[in-house]
Every structure is written in C-alpha cells, then in structure tokens.
Amino acid sequence: MEASQSCVIAGGGPAGMMAGLLLARAGLRVTVLEKHPDFLRDFRGDTIHPATLELMAELDWLEEFLALPHQKAPDLHAEMGGRHVTIADFSHLPLSCRYIAFMPQWDFLNFLAGKGEELPNFQLLMGHRIVELLREGDRICGVHWENDAGDEGDIHVPLVIGADGRQSVVREQAGLEVVDFGSAVDVIWFRLSRSPDDPAPAMSHAGPQQGLVLIDRGDFWQCGYVIRKGGFDDLKALGLTAFRAALAALAPLPSKRFEEIADWDQVYLLSIRMDRLKRWWAPGVLCIGDAAHAMSPVGGFGVNLAIQDAVATANILSGPLRDGVLSETDLARVQARRMFPTRATQRLQRMMRRKRNDKGEAAPRPPGFLRMIARFPILSRLMGRLIGMGFRPEHISKDLLHDQS
C-alpha cells in the first residue's frame, strides 16, 4: 500500500465516498478504508434527495446515475385523521430533478466506487478497518489498519477524515465530545412482496400509537415499523401473530400479506440515535456525516446531509491539502460551514416526531408542526424545499468539477 497519501478516510458510506472522490479530483492522493467486504447491507438510508441529484448533474453524472434502478417520489404523503396529506411537495424546486430518488444504497455506493476507479490517485480498500489513530504529540498523523486477510499496516497522512458512521472509531479515539439528544423510538425494518394491484400508499402511513412507513421497491415493499425505544424484546415476547396483526391494522395492504413474516430473523432492528459532536475536529482529524451528527430517519435527511458535508469538506480543504498548509483553522471552517444546517435539520426532525409519555406511548395526534401543514397545504412547498434541498445546499467548487489528478 502506498504510504505517502494526502488523506485517509474511514468509512465508505456516502460521506466518505463523495469526499474521497472530490479530493482525488483535486489532485490529492486519497485512500478510503471500508471495514465491510462489500456494500450489500440491507435497510441503509436510500433516499437520494434533489440536492444530491443536483450534485450528480454538476459532475455530469446524472444521466448515467439515473439509468440505475430507482423509484421517483415527487412528493411525500402521510395519513392523518383518516385522510392522505401531502407533507412535502418537491415539484417547485429550482433544481434539475424535482423528486426524491429511492435507490438501494449499495447501488449508489457502487456507482461512486466505479467513478473512483477512473481516478489513478483514488484508492478504495474494502474489508479494511482502522484499528488505531497514529499520533505525533497532540496531533493525529495517520492510521493503523488491518484487513480481513490478517494483514496490517500504517498510513501517515496530514488528514484523517472520520466518515465511519454513528459508531465512529475515529471520533471515539480522537476524544471528540458527543452531545446526545436521545430518542424515544427504534425502527424495525422488513420486506413484503408487492402485487401489481396493491394500492399506492402514503410514504408515511401513521397509526394512533405506532407508525408504518412503506417504500415502493418495484417488486417488494420496504417497510419500517416504529416502536418505543428498547421495546423490541417486549414485541417479540408477544409473538409473531400479534406483530403481524399490529402491522395489518396500520397498512393499506391485505392482512394475509403479513403472513410472509415467518421468523424474527426476517426483521432488522435499527436503534435510533440523534447526536452531534461539540467539535468535529482535532489536530489532523475531521469527522463528517453520521460520525459528526447521527440523524433520526425522520425525513430521510441523513444521506443528503452527509453528502453536503463531503462537498463542503472538499471545497474548503482541497486547496490547503494540495499546498501543504492545512491548519486547524481550515478544519474549523468546515464545521462552521456545516453546523447551522446540522442544527436546523435536527431541530426540524424533533418537530416532526411525535411526543411520547414515560411509557414510550405515542401521543394520539401527529405533531403540531405536521398538523399545521395539513391545515395549510401551501406549507408543503416549504417542507419540500427544506427536505429536498436542506438548509444550506452545497455546490461543487469549479476547481473540483474538472479532474486534476
């Protein structure tokens, strides 16, 4: 492995892959270390927002990207009080694509990996884990890695970027302080088959105590069932029959469909967290994406926010890295640029979630914020802008739009 690098990135998710690609296009030698041997993990964030699609257009990749299988959602709906309500309308956005594209995240990441293969100074190493951050005094100066074959080694770099998710090894070893906002819920993900005569359901189909999200995957439904925090064991104790009945009471699908859930191994528990770092950086290291701010799945903001972090990182740091003058001030500039949209998005997510009592039971009515949208439909355009574009959409610097590697 080449030891002389400009940057090592921990994590081959959306933030890590996009940051690596853009820094490599700036002429920097970049290595992305992804601990898994492939990207094939189900039930990861897969909402490609209009702002992310706009970045694909800026890179002249949009047509090729949209050739991949995906479903389009020009708006998002919820059921409230027995009627369908448009929560977010993307049709008026001043962008190339006025819809959310639902695409399995492994397809998105494989697409980015393919673009990386075209760059001689971009290296993606699958099945490689960061074991330890290397230090020179108070400064992070690289990483010690190991892979699935039992090999290990060191890479010395001016910058380590932690994009390794909400369980980030980088942020833990760098000693960065986390502010935890807590969560009253978890989500259970599972699949159901899809029939051509199934109704077109609301994206978020809410019941009086629980919530059920249905995402059209073409030949199957991807389903998310909201439960109280830590309630999965209690749910299993009630048995599969009770679980299937609870789902059938919420879904606009035939109750017989839920008999497809024959074993608890068919469901996946996502433990919801919402937090952010007080400081995203230390000398020689920067965290972005979920490593800097774990998001709730409400609104599907996580992927787009991570991508926006990556663009800001490349825009701000490519020059100092290329000139060999990277400073703590540069790292602080990235956080300063991205802190407002992070705070605002997390605040919006908290407004969108239902209040719960001490027993974890949901309030009987949707949050007042969503009831306001139902009362004044014009507000769905505002929500379309906040969800589709974010609070501070980034654009790729002209210096990065043309490969300099």
pLDDT tens sequence across 362-404: 555 666 767 788 788 888 899 899 999 999 999 999 888 876 6
pLDDT of amino acid 205: 39
pLDDT of amino acid 230: 86
pLDDT of amino acid 204: 44
How does the average pLDDT of the chain come out, rounded?
87
Which residues pair with residue 295 across a beta bridge?
none
What is the percent of the chain where pLDDT is above 90?
58
Q: Is the dihedral of CA 7, 9, 14, 15 positive or negative?
A: negative
| Least confident stretch, 41-45, 69-73, 174-178 | 41-45
The model's confidence at residue 227, banded by pLDDT at 50, 70 and 90, is confident
pLDDT of amino acid 40: 77
- Residue 94 in this model has a pLDDT that exceeds 90: yes
Residue located via tokens 């060191």: 154
CA neighbor of 165 nearest in space, from 288, 50, 264, 49 = 288
**pLDDT tens, residue by residue, 106-141:** 899 999 999 999 999 999 999 999 999 999 999 999
Residue at 64: amino acid letter: E
Nearest 5°: the CA angle 91, 85, 346 is 75
Residues of the chain with CATH 3.50.50.60: 7-67+97-180+273-355+390-400
End-to-end Cα spacing for the chain = 19
Rounded CA gap, 314 and 338, in Å? 13
Residues of the chain with CATH 3.30.70: 185-270
Q: Kindly calculate the radius of gyration of the chain based on its CA atoms and give it in whole angstroms.
A: 21
Rounded CA gap, 297 and 274, in Å? 9
Rounded CA gap, 329 and 308, in Å? 20
Summarize the confidence of residues 263-271 as an average pLDDT.
89
pLDDT of amino acid 63: 96
Rounded CA gap, 168 and 160, in Å? 13
Specify the CATH class of 185-270 in words. Answer: alpha beta
The model's confidence at residue 84, banded by pLDDT at 50, 70 and 90, is confident
- Residue 359 in this model has a pLDDT that exceeds 70: no
**pLDDT tens, residue by residue, 285-301:** 999 999 999 887 777 78
Are 276 and 298 in contact, with CB atoms under 8 Å apart? no
- 3-state per-residue secondary structure call for the chain: CCCECCEEEECCCHHHHHHHHHHHHCCCCEEEEECCCCCCCCCCCCEECHHHHHHHHHCCCHHHHHCCCCEEECEEEEEECCEEEEEEECCCCCCCCCCEEECCHHHHHHHHHHHHHCCCCEEEEECEEEEEEEEECCEEEEEEEEECCCCEEEEECCEEEECCCCCCHHHHHCCCCEEECCCCEEEEEEEEECCCCCCCCCCEEECCCCEEEEEECCCEEEEEEEEECCCHHHHHHHCHHHHHHHHHHHCCCCHHHHHHCCCHHHCEEECCCCEEECCCEECCEEECHHHCCCCCCHHHCHHHHHHHHHHHHHHHHHHHHHHCCCCHHHHHHHHHHHHHHHHHHHHHHHHHCCCECCCCCECCCCCHHHHHHHHCCCHHHHHHHHHHHCCCCCCCCHHHCCCCC
Give Cα separations from 168 to 35, 157, 276 (angstroms). 12, 19, 12
The model's confidence at residue 36, banded by pLDDT at 50, 70 and 90, is very high
- CATH code for the domain defined by 7-67+97-180+273-355+390-400: 3.50.50.60
- Residue 199 in this model has a pLDDT that exceeds 90: no
Which residues pair with residue 72 across a beta bridge?
101
- For the entire predicted model, the pTM comes to 0.86
- Can you read off the two tokens belonging to residue 235? 């749910």
- Residue 202 in this model has a pLDDT that exceeds 50: no
Nearest 5°: the CA angle 54, 60, 64 is 95
